[in-house]
Amino acid sequence: MAAIDADALKSYSFTLFSKLEGAVTALMIHLGDRLGLYRALADVDAPVTSAELASRTGLDERWVREWLYNQGAAKLVAFDDTGSRFWLTPEGVAVTADPDSPYYGMGMFLRMPSMSLAVEPLVESFHTGVGYDYDARGTDVASSVEMGMAPWYRHNLVPVVVPMLDGVEDRLRDGGRAVDIGCGSGQAVLTLADAFPEADVRGYDISALALERAEANRAARGVANASFYDARTDPLPTDGATDFVITFDCIHDMTHPQEMMAAIREAIAPDGSWLLVDIKARESFTENAAKNPMASMMYGMSVMSCMASALSAPGGAGLGTLGLPESRARAMAETAGFTRFQRLPVDHPVNAFYEIRP
């Protein structure tokens, strides 16, 4: 065995335990959201003590104090020189306490408990090669995705992205058909349906839990021109009459993405547009590792979620979270029969946006 370098050992150990710190703090973030601690910090107009925050939330002061110490040390909550008063910066409010903010980030942390429950099924997956679908992970997955994506849809889909697409706005205003594949809890469908009341807006998914939530959301908002379908029993139309198709962060999760692209080609009108939104991925692992500061998280999430879904049936493609770089997306679209492919100038921290046309 090679000799151990003392400085390299310290550096490696620090790196290892920094990952543990992140995991532990992620659980504290989940608790802060679940217990209303961030919202309570956002609601006050001055720094508060742990006792004051405990009083506002009806929680025990000693537990609140230790949580604040974790959050302060993690640089998520600001504190004064004495370490006795705490507050959220405006940026902290936008990310942790304002569900309508396009920067709201609590969705991923909602599923922290279910992630730990995935360990045993993953051990089996590593042996068999077969993963599991989203519904196998529990009821909080659909609500977690909704919490993470809904603010962005509300603020950006109609006013920012749709006008970039060739003719889509006019066709939807005139009563065209829009289809969201992998619609989840239906937020994009309902956003489009609200904005274009004459349009026929349909959502397709294979998650029973997500579709149940989507229908409840539709009923609560009283949207009449939106509908949801289980793609396993009600597949996409093949009449070539769909004006606009969306796939938002789902192609890389699919067991058979190439077949799905072929189905989109059959569904879409000759002058229609497909908005493909997927994770910004580079061409190789080495590029992702070198240039994407979130690469390790994304590869880990792939094991627990995206690749697990993409391998949930024998013979699945298994693309994984970072498995659809632009070159592969373009090649797969061409194989499916599309002839026009362009990347849109949408500023998003995680996703790339492509307009694909027949």
CATH 3.40.50.150 applies to domain 116-357: yes
pLDDT bin (cut points 50, 70, 90) of residue 148 is confident
Q: Decide: 277 and 247 in contact? Cβ < 8 Å.
A: yes
In degrees and rounded to multiples of 5, residue 89 shows phi and psi of -70, 165
* Residue 110 pLDDT: 87
Angle between helices 187-195 and 208-221 in degrees, nearest 10: 30
Determine the Cα–Cα distance for residues 181 and 295; give it in Å rounded to an integer.
26
Q: Over the stretch 102-125, which tens digit does the pLDDT of each residue have?
A: 899 998 898 888 887 788 899 999
CATH 1.10.10.10 applies to domain 6-98: yes
Amino acid sitting at position 137: R
* Residue 146 pLDDT: 78
Q: Residue 241: exposed, middle, or buried by beta-carbon count in 10 A (0-12, 13-18, 19+)?
A: middle
Question: Does the predicted TM-score (pTM) go above 0.75?
Answer: yes
CA atoms within 13 A on the CB side of 355: 17
Determine the Cα–Cα distance for residues 341 and 303; give it in Å rounded to an integer.
29
* Residue 173 pLDDT: 97
Q: Over the stretch 295-344, which tens digit does the pLDDT of each residue have?
A: 999 999 999 899 999 999 989 999 999 999 999 999 999 999 999 999 99
Determine the Cα–Cα distance for residues 223 and 172; give it in Å rounded to an integer.
16
Query: What CA–CA distances, in Å, run from 60 to 35, 52, 56, 220?
Result: 11, 11, 11, 36
Sequence ranges of the domains in the chain: 6-98, 116-357
Provide mean pLDDT across the span 32-39.
Answer: 97
Q: Over the stretch 185-227, which tens digit does the pLDDT of each residue have?
A: 999 999 999 999 999 999 999 999 999 999 999 999 999 999 9
CA atoms within 13 A on the CB side of 354: 25
Q: Decide: 60 and 69 in contact? Cβ < 8 Å.
A: no
Examine the pLDDT at 8 and tell me if it is beyond 90.
yes
Amino acid sitting at position 160: V
Question: Which residues contact residue 137 at a Cβ distance below 8 angstroms, ignoring those fewer than 6 apart?
Answer: 111, 114, 117, 118, 305
Of the chain, the percentage scoring pLDDT greater than 70 comes to 100
Examine the pLDDT at 140 and tell me if it is beyond 80.
no
Q: Which two tokens stand for residue 325?
A: 């770089």
Q: Over the stretch 247-270, which tens digit does the pLDDT of each residue have?
A: 999 999 999 999 999 999 999 999
Determine the Cα–Cα distance for residues 59 and 43; give it in Å rounded to an integer.
16
SS (H, E, C) 245-273: EEEECCHHHCCCHHHHHHHHHHHEEEEEE
